[in-house]
Amino acid sequence: MKLNSCSVIIIHLFVLQCLSVVCLSQDFDFFYFVQQWPGAYCDTKRGCCYPTTGMPAGDFLIHGLWPNYNDGSYPSGCDHGASFDKSEISDLIPTLQKEWPTLACPSSDGFKFWANQWTKYGTCSKSELNERQYFEAAIALKGKANLLQALRDAGIKPNDHLYKMEEIRDAIKVAIGYTPGIECNVDEFGTSQLYLVYLCVDTSGSDFIECPLLPRAGCGSSIQFPKF
């Protein structure tokens, strides 16, 4: 059978389309959107340093948006050639400084933390979100999940008191609509405290979903909600 040039072009286009679907299809199953409670990050033997832009607000802060697989494993550092490009997010910096500041020592302006999160995690969701979209998605998710308000509405406040894990989990589920993962750390006396809250997000980075898998918690049945 002889193919005319028009058929050849159509076949070429078909092959190209198939390749683009294979190459651009998402290569992770969901995101963990992780927020940290600054009171718990700071209340450890290691301590913390406020960012050069000043003490963060007494609110949960973004830790990261992490692509994950349904089996609990996750991709990491997916683009060795890619570096973090500050200019892509220059207009987002004031918002990032407020919502995604670093508490690590020594004090810094946050760029190292954002670059670390982009190269370690963000590069693994590039099929869905480029660098700018990755940071925008995290900021938008933070706006949709007011954890402090959710907890306050249930009478749970950062006052160094102990609260039951179920109370904390339920309060967030009632307000956000999805069960969160809670991770604890310990203060210098070994008291378990509310440190990270994980919410699951679909691969587009825009909608919360029920978690395919909750992260391991490391919490006791009652945990402290430290002051900040």
Helix axes 131-144, 111-120, angle to 10 degrees: 100
Residue with tokens 């209340």: 43
Neighbours of 212 (CB within 10 A): 13
Neighbours of 15 (CB within 10 A): 10
Cβ nearer to ligand 5GP, comparing 102 with 203: 102
Asked whether position 63 contacts ligand 5GP by CB under 6 A, the answer is yes
Cβ nearer to ligand 5GP, comparing 46 with 157: 46
Pick out residues in 9-38 that bind ligand 5GP (CB under 6 A).
36
Q: How far apart are CA 185 and CA 192, in angstroms?
A: 6
List, as one string, the DSSP characters of 56-69. Answer: PPSS-EEEEEEEE-
Asked whether position 103 contacts ligand 5GP by CB under 6 A, the answer is yes
Residue 173 phi, psi (nearest 5) = -65, -45
Asked whether position 113 contacts ligand 5GP by CB under 6 A, the answer is yes
Cβ nearer to ligand 5GP, comparing 111 with 170: 111
> Which of 82, 92, 104, 148 touches ligand 5GP by CB under 6 A?
104
**DSSP reduced 3-state for 125:** helix
Cβ nearer to ligand 5GP, comparing 25 with 76: 76
Q: Where are the beta strands (DSSP E) in the chain?
A: 30-36, 61-68, 162-164, 181-186, 192-201, 208-209, 222-224
Tokens of 175: 């307000």
Letters for 156-195 (x = contact with ligand 5GP by CB under 6 A, - = none) are ----------------------------------------
Q: How many residues bind ligand 5GP (CB under 6 A)?
A: 10
Cβ nearer to ligand 5GP, comparing 116 with 133: 116
Candidates 99-107, 124-132, 137-145, 184-192: pick the segment binding ligand 5GP (CB under 6 A): 99-107
CA atoms within 13 A on the CB side of 228: 28
Pick out residues in 35-54 that bind ligand 5GP (CB under 6 A).
36, 41
Shortest Cβ distance from residue 221 to ligand 5GP (Å)?
24
List, as one string, the DSSP characters of 132-181. Answer: HHHHHHHHHHHHH--HHHHHHHTT--SSS-EEEHHHHHHHHHHHHSSPPE
Asked whether position 102 contacts ligand 5GP by CB under 6 A, the answer is yes
Residues that bind ligand 5GP (CB under 6 A): 36, 41, 63-64, 102-104, 113, 116, 120
